[in-house]
Amino acid sequence: MADNSSTSRQKPGKKSIVFLCILTVLVIAYELFVSFGQEIISDPMQQQTTVHFIDVGQGDCSLIVSGGEAVLMDAGLTATSDQVIAYLKEAGVTHLVAAVGTHPHEDHIGGMAAVLEAFPTDVLYLPAQTALTATYSAMLDAAEQTGVSVQVPSPGQVLEFGNHASLTFLAPAPDDTFDNVNNDSIISMLAADDFRVLFTGDAEAQAEEAVLASGADLSCDVLKVGHHGSDTSSTNAFLDAASPKIAVISCGKYNDYGHPHPETLARLAEHGASVHVTADSGTFRYPTPVN
């Protein structure tokens, strides 16, 4: 009788031990899962905002990545579309929150059709100024075929994305009238983390004067220099307002236009900007990665 009583007490004990072991394993697994997930979520490399000024020769293309979301500013030339797509894929881009074609010149939108076909894109922002070119038509056709919304942004309109990043459109205004298509370029300001980047497309002196007159805050840490460093852009008044610490010029080596122009480089130097030219140093990332 005593033996049976002893046996009946041991069986629940064994079950309890097994239960406790299973419970312990589950608790440990849960803690590992949570801590692993938190590590991914808090990874600064995943969350920080980075701007890639991609070297596309005599063209323009910049990629903004923030909190796992991406925005493309121009897409380079038709001839460099494969290069742009490869760069975006290597950067981990699978989807674009937005693409911006600053103005309808081939060296800025030439690769846009291929990009829209390669990456699902929510919206394509374009200025009201259009163009009767095969490149422009191909871009619109690609947008239609892939279901991309095409919109003309208004000054003051804000696109929020990623990790507290925002892109504010500053120009052109609906009533701006220019003879030169370059001056119809979309001008926008990226604000993210603790820095600001001003994108100007190919805006020249007349467009710079118009955005200055609008009263927009142009102060920035990084200026994407207008029109590949041409002497028709980056006036003293504009640089006074922008006051960039860094100026990035996208142009091709030994190009036929003399970009960047010595006078533009001199004005940038006078305003204390550190200049990075893609023709000399290739793709430039900001903030600069720490090795």
Quote the tokens at residue 34.
């949570």
Residue type, 174: P
Quote the tokens at residue 194.
């603790």
The strand order across the sheet containing 62-66 reads 149-151, 123-125, 98-100, 69-73, 62-66, 49-53, 284-286
Residue pair 187/206 in contact by the 8 Å Cβ criterion: no
Q: What is the pLDDT of residue 177?
A: 84
Cα 167 from Cα 161, distance rounded (Å): 8
Max Cα separation, the chain? 108
The pTM score is 0.84
Q: Which residues pair with 71 in a beta bridge?
A: 64, 98
Q: Which residues pair with 51 in a beta bridge?
A: 64, 286
Q: What is the pLDDT of residue 6?
A: 44
Q: How many residues does the chain have?
A: 291
Q: What is the pLDDT of residue 68?
A: 94
Cα 248 from Cα 226, distance rounded (Å): 9
Cα 244 from Cα 239, distance rounded (Å): 7
Residue located via tokens 């507290």:
164
Quote the tokens at residue 260.
């960047």
Cα 72 from Cα 261, distance rounded (Å): 26
Interstrand relation of 274-277 and 284-286 (parallel, antiparallel or unpaired): unpaired
Cα 162 from Cα 72, distance rounded (Å): 13
Residues with pLDDT less than 70, the chain? 1-46, 289-291
Q: What is the pLDDT of residue 15?
A: 55
Residue 243: partners with Cβ closer than 8 Å, 6 or more residues away? 219, 220, 271, 272
Residue type, 272: G
Closest alpha carbon to 237 in 275, 210, 202? 210
